[in-house]
Amino acid sequence: MIDKLQAHYGFTRMPFGRDLAPGMLHRHAAHNEAVARITWCVSERSIGVITGEVGAGKTVSVRTVLAGLDASRHVVIYLPNPMIGVRGIHETIVATFGVTPDRSGSRLAAQASAALAAERDERGRTPVLVIDEAHLLRYEQLENIRMLTNHNLDADSPLACLLVGQPTLRRTMKLAVLAAFEQRVALRYTMPPMTGPETASYVSHHLKLAGRSDTLYSDDAVSLIHTTARGYPRAVNNLALQALVAAYASGKATVDEQSARAAVTEITDT
Ligand SMILES: Nc1ncnc2c1ncn2[C@@H]1O[C@H](COP(=O)(O)OP(=O)(O)O)[C@@H](O)[C@H]1O
Ligand SMILES: [Mg+2]
């Protein structure tokens, strides 16, 4: 069915896929701003907190920055999911630098701090610690991350640290117990959704990458997709794809509002 749909609309590949290379991404304002701010945060070796709704484009933005870093001057430690306890965070850091983790939790924490500092002091490479889905971090994990970022109590952090997560992360960081950490956060950015015109441009961009530069979706179809997705890229992808399938199932040459409406029903009903 995918093959036939692809042939029917003359696509060279399926549009709205997730596997876009950084150079192929759509550069709407939220994406550009997130990339610029994260880049600054890394170069300053600061602590950054990037938040946004599910599917806002946080991970894509962070990965864009990481992919562009000079590998001779940075070491990236990327934790896709923080449900690994305090020990898991320390183990991942230590493993990145080829150190065998100590069984004792406190010695392991010291190993992680020392490994991060040595990378900076001895090899001149900045460790970039990225914790995705950081709204899932437990208090003790945040407390330990705070300790990693102020090694030796000196003002200069040995690493750049990015916490990336859903909006509740901002609230967690504001808890009184984490005030000391929160005060040292140099970057706070909440990714907004795309505007209506940005969503239209986003849809065209994905279609162009799939080989269609002409108009395939009607304006009212795109407008309905935008409103239903509230401008968030992942939801736009899902709705645009479902609308395409609905149009194909009705043998249509274009994706009209009726097809978009079918997609909305499909997605909001499940
Ligand atoms: N700038 C962009 N250009 C193209 N596609 C994007 C862009 N930003 C997000 N997407 C799409 O939206 C999906 C969700 O983005 P993601 O970064 O995973 O969201 P989040 O991490 O905020 O939940 C991605 O898989 C990708 O398909
Ligand atoms: Mg993500």
Q: What's the pLDDT at 151?
A: 63
Distance 230 CA to ligand 1 centre (A): 14
- Check residue 157 and give its pLDDT: 80
- The overall longest dimension of the chain from CA atoms, in Å, is 67
Domain extent listing, the chain: 2-15+194-268, 29-190
- What local confidence, expressed as pLDDT, does residue 152 receive? 59
Q: Per this entry, what is the length of the chain? A: 270
Determine the average pLDDT of the residues in 231-239.
98
pLDDT of residue 178: 84
Fold of 2-15+194-268: Helicase, Ruva Protein; domain 3 (1.10.8)
Residue bearing the CA closest to ligand 1, atom 9: 57
Contact 132, 164 (CB under 8 A): yes
Provide the pLDDT for residue 232: 98
Q: How many CB atoms lie within 10 A of CB 4?
A: 9
Band of pLDDT at residue 158, cut at 50, 70 and 90: confident
Does pLDDT of 156 surpass 90? no
CATH 1.10.3720.10 at 29-190, yes or no: no
What global pTM score does this model have?
0.95
CA–centroid distance, 55 to ligand 1, in Å, is 6
Work out which ligand 1 atom sits closest to the CA atom of 132. 21
Torsion 62-67-72-78 (CA) sign: positive
Q: What is the pLDDT of residue 248?
A: 97
- pLDDT band of 270, cuts 50, 70, 90: low
The binding-site residues of ligand 1, defined as CB within 6 angstroms of any ligand atom, are 18, 20, 25-26, 31, 52, 54-60, 233-234, 237
Question: Ramachandran region of residue 207, left (φ > 0), alpha (ψ -120 to 50) or beta?
Answer: alpha
16-20, 54-58, 73-77: least confident range: 16-20
